[in-house]
Amino acid sequence: MAKMNMLQAINSALDIAMSEDESTLCFGEDVGHFGGVFRATSGLQDKYGKLRCFNTPLVEQGIIGFANGLAAQGSRPIAEIQFADYIFPAFDQIVNEAAKFRYRSGNEFNVGRLTIRAPYGGGIAGGLYHSQSPEAYFAHTPGLKVVIPRNPYQAKGLLLASIRDDNPVIFFEPKRLYRASTGEVPIEDYQLPLGKAEIMQTGSDITLLAWGAQMEVLQNAADLAVNDGVSCEVIDLRSILPWDIETIVNSVVKTGRLLVTQEAPLTAGFASEIAATIQQECFLHLESPVARVCGLDTPYPLALEKEYVSDHLKIYEAIKRSINY
């Protein structure tokens, strides 16, 4: 064990992945000698050489197209998109190519070895184009897996599982936590399961569900609610696609209430999918409507970021509304 921040945990996972398999490559804009703008790939070029860890030209569709080709060939590419806000030029390569490669070829070919990493989410005064949470776009695409960690321990274990998973995985890294979140992380190799939520705190009155950096916010709200005598069950979804319906359903059957929070805008966010599924599966157990606490349906703002985001106070109020419904 060692104390690490999220960047160090990610770097450690990449190091393990590159050391165990010569066909594993890390590349993207500024990823080489510089180690990435956040330094997640620091030291990897020195250790594994320029052929396996390198800068690419500034072209996201090229980075993911190149990665798709490498994965089809049998290499294990880990492609970095510098910010999730800039993943859209690669949307076609992800949605029409990576996600459909196996299905359209009848499994003659696949790009299951592909992992895409991207710093994601707000809270760093990044405004419109350094703050977005685009998970819902990709959750709408069969063939992809989407994973978002909440802390350094989760980041290392989930990233190693994503790299080794035989499906294309998009791994969104909440960049607000890169240096802010620290914790004890095993130095050695370990994996955490994809597609499995984790119950962080058990409770009986309401289920609180989120992922990534919102977990911290959610926990703060749960701590406020406990003073009102509300017992919250707090769950980290961890994988957006495929998602762990069973764990959430079991929890809501027990508590009778669900609140989902996300940084992304309200309309057609992943919280909406969860709400629809839970009303389908738990209709007769629900004591109140499923609550969604999300960003506004606006681009991600700068000066008014604090007002825009779903913070612990907005969540706390929504908990009370749900309990008093």
Partner 1 sequence: MSSDVYNDGPVVHKPTFIDGSSVEIPQLKILKQDGSIYEGSDMPDIDEALAIKVYKTFAFHRVLDERMVASQRQGRLSFYMAALGEEAASVGGAAGLQPQDMIMSQYREQGALMFRGFSLENFMDQMFSNKKDLGKGRQMPIHYGSKELNYITVSSPLGTQIPQATGYAYGQKLRGLDAVTLCYFGEGAASEGDFHAGLNMAAVQEAPVIFFCRNNGYAISTPSDEQFKGNGIASRGVGYGIKTLRVDGNDILAVIKATQIARKVALKENAPVLIEAMSYRLGAHSTSDDPSGYRTREEEAKWQANDPILRMKNWLLAQNWWDEEQDKMLFEKLREKVLAAVKVSEKINKPHIDTLITDVYDVPSAQLKSQLEQVKAHINKYPEAYPFTAGKF
Residues that bind partner 1 (CB under 8 A): 23, 25, 51-52, 54, 56-57, 59, 61-62, 64-75, 77, 89, 92-93, 96-97, 100, 102-110, 112, 142-143, 145, 166-167, 195, 242, 245-246
Please report how close the Cβ of residue 290 comes to partner 1 at its closest, in angstroms.
19
| Choice between 114 and 221, CB closer to partner 1 | 114
Structure tokens at 286: 């629900």
The residue from 60, 135, 216, 233 that is catalytic is 60
Please report how close the Cβ of residue 103 comes to partner 1 at its closest, in angstroms.
5
Please report how close the Cβ of residue 55 comes to partner 1 at its closest, in angstroms.
9
296 SS3 class: coil
Neighbouring residues of 117: CB distance < 8 A, sequence distance ≥ 6: 10, 28, 40, 78, 79, 80, 81, 159, 171, 173
| Choice between 23 and 182, CB closer to partner 1 | 23
Neighbouring residues of 73: CB distance < 8 A, sequence distance ≥ 6: none
Return the exposure string of 110-148: e unless at least 16 CB atoms fall within 10 Å of the residue's CB, then b.
bbbbbbbbbbbbbbeebeeebbbbbbbbbbebebbbbbb
Please report how close the Cβ of residue 85 comes to partner 1 at its closest, in angstroms.
18
Residue of 224, 186, 256, 268 lying closest to 13 (CA atoms) = 186
Please tell me the number of Cα atoms within 13 Å of 32 on its side-chain side.
10
What is each CA distance from 6 to 63, 159, 255, in whole angstroms?
A: 24, 11, 32
The residue from 29, 80, 97, 130 that is catalytic is 130
- Per DSSP, the residues of 209-250 read EE-TTHHHHHHHHHHHHHTTT--EEEEE--EEES--HHHHHH
Catalytic residue status for 312: no
| Choice between 73 and 202, CB closer to partner 1 | 73
Catalytic residue status for 60: yes
| Choice between 112 and 269, CB closer to partner 1 | 112
Please tell me the number of Cα atoms within 13 Å of 175 on its side-chain side.
24
Q: Which residue has the tokens 């936590």?
A: 177
Neighbouring residues of 227: CB distance < 8 A, sequence distance ≥ 6: none
| Choice between 13 and 64, CB closer to partner 1 | 64
Please report how close the Cβ of residue 314 comes to partner 1 at its closest, in angstroms.
30
| Choice between 48 and 300, CB closer to partner 1 | 48
Please report how close the Cβ of residue 41 comes to partner 1 at its closest, in angstroms.
16
Q: Which residues are catalytic?
A: 60, 130
